[in-house]
Amino acid sequence: MSTINLNNIPDDIDLSDIRSEIDCIDNQILELFIKRMHACEKVAMVKKRDGTPIFNPEREQEILDRVEKEGGEFGSGARTMLATLIDISSTRQQMLLYGEDGKLRKKFMTAGSELKGSKIACQGTVGAYSHLAAKQFFGDGVEPMFFAQFNDVFDAVTEGYTDFGVLPIENTTAGAVDDVYDLLTRHGFYIVGETDVDVNHCLLAPKGAKIEDIKEVYAHPQALSQCARYIQRHGFETNEYSNNAVAAKNVARWNDPTKAAIASSVAGKKFDMEILEKDIQDIDGNQTRFIVISKNMVIRNGADKISLTFSLPHRTGSLYRVLSRFAANGMNIFKIESRPLKGQNFQYRFYLDFNGSVHDEKVCSLICSLSTEMSDFKFLGNY
């Protein structure tokens, strides 16, 4: 219940007077906030002297429970406010305690700034969109090694057959490529670059085939999703393939006028196929974002995008508390994905992209703080 009856407000209450009162209270809160931060800095000094960890979840839980209880009807808001203060304090203590000595900080400081190596792995075959992405990122002179599956690309980099892998991670129409997200976490690789490729799907068939002959289409599930309305309009039967260009290659080899593939015009020309129709995707401006992966952390000059992944306990406000720390430090989060954790009901892994550089002290401190507080935290790259 509210402590104020909104239907019985005295006429002598003036809005400007109330605002002045709030300004005065805000100034007091600011003074107390600064005092609290100075006290937290002293706590950091004692923790450094005694070797005590920054994160103390038991004490934090006790404080938040007490505040919520004593806050009465405003208990939930009071808890949220104090939780944010605790998180800001933890980040400040992380910066003071570890400075240049933190494990992750050292990795940032020793990371290479150039992509060294020329052997590239892609999934699919010549003419695949991943092939186009590799050429777009590394230059027309690159000749990638091709592998059948996404996990084969990761294995090639793991075994040292190639220096880098180029893989799709997101499409503007069909969304995230979940398998790549999962493999990225499992292998512990770094993202060292990215490039966006315009996706202009074509309906490809053996020479002499006509569109009215087509009964079946073959393509990667993402491509089938991106052309769903076109496929439905023509009543085609769909067949999923590991890669669009591989589908085109096989359709050309089968030489069956009732079968077609959805792939790029480059693939059509490569396999000497009939391009029955161009730009059959449902939405114009369709793009796929490709990432470049490496076993080694590389942070090139001018890198301004950071990717992280972490899991959180299934607890009210846990995600909000993490995201609020980015807002408190003035950082712009522009993408967040969630993936269910296998074998753990209603538990999720989050993937987060935001603007920043690890060479910015605020950004570095926040990332290092999160890495020490979360048992399942991974820095994916600054690129």
How many C-beta atoms lie closer than 10 Å to residue 353's C-beta? 20
Select from 303, 306, 309, 302 the least CA-distant residue to 354: 306
Name the one residue in this structure whose structure tokens are 């020490």. 372
290 tagged catalytic: yes
How many H-runs (helices) and E-runs (strands) does the chain carry? 13, 15
110 is catalytic: no
Prediction pTM value: 0.78
Residues of the chain with CATH 3.30.70.260: 302-382
User: Fold for domain 202-277?
Assistant: D-Maltodextrin-Binding Protein; domain 2 (3.40.190)
Q: Which of 137, 138, 271, 290 is catalytic?
A: 290
Within the chain, all domains assigned CATH 1.20.59.10 are found at 16-98
Catalytic residue among 162, 173, 288, 309: 288
Name, in order, each residue with C-beta under 8 angstroms of 304's C-beta and a sequence gap of 6 or more.
Answer: 355, 356, 357
Locate CATH 3.40.190.10 in the chain: 120-199+287-294, 202-277
List per-residue pLDDT tens for the chain, 383 residues long.
456 677 777 777 788 888 999 999 999 999 999 999 999 999 988 988 888 887 788 888 999 999 999 999 999 999 999 998 998 888 788 777 765 557 888 899 999 999 998 899 999 999 999 999 999 999 998 999 999 999 999 999 999 999 999 999 999 888 899 899 999 989 999 999 999 999 999 999 999 999 999 999 999 999 999 999 999 999 999 999 999 999 999 999 999 999 999 999 999 999 999 999 999 999 988 899 999 999 999 999 999 999 999 998 877 778 988 998 898 888 999 999 998 887 777 788 999 999 999 999 889 988 988 888 887 899 999 99
Topology (CATH) of 302-382:
Alpha-Beta Plaits (3.30.70)
Amino acid letter, 359: H
* CATH code for residues 120-199+287-294: 3.40.190.10
Where in the chain does DSSP place strands (E)?
A: 120-123, 145-147, 164-171, 175-176, 190-198, 202-205, 216-219, 237-240, 259-263, 274-277, 287-294, 305-311, 333-340, 348-355, 377-382
Domain 16-98 sits in CATH at 1.20.59.10
> Tokens for 141?
């002179």
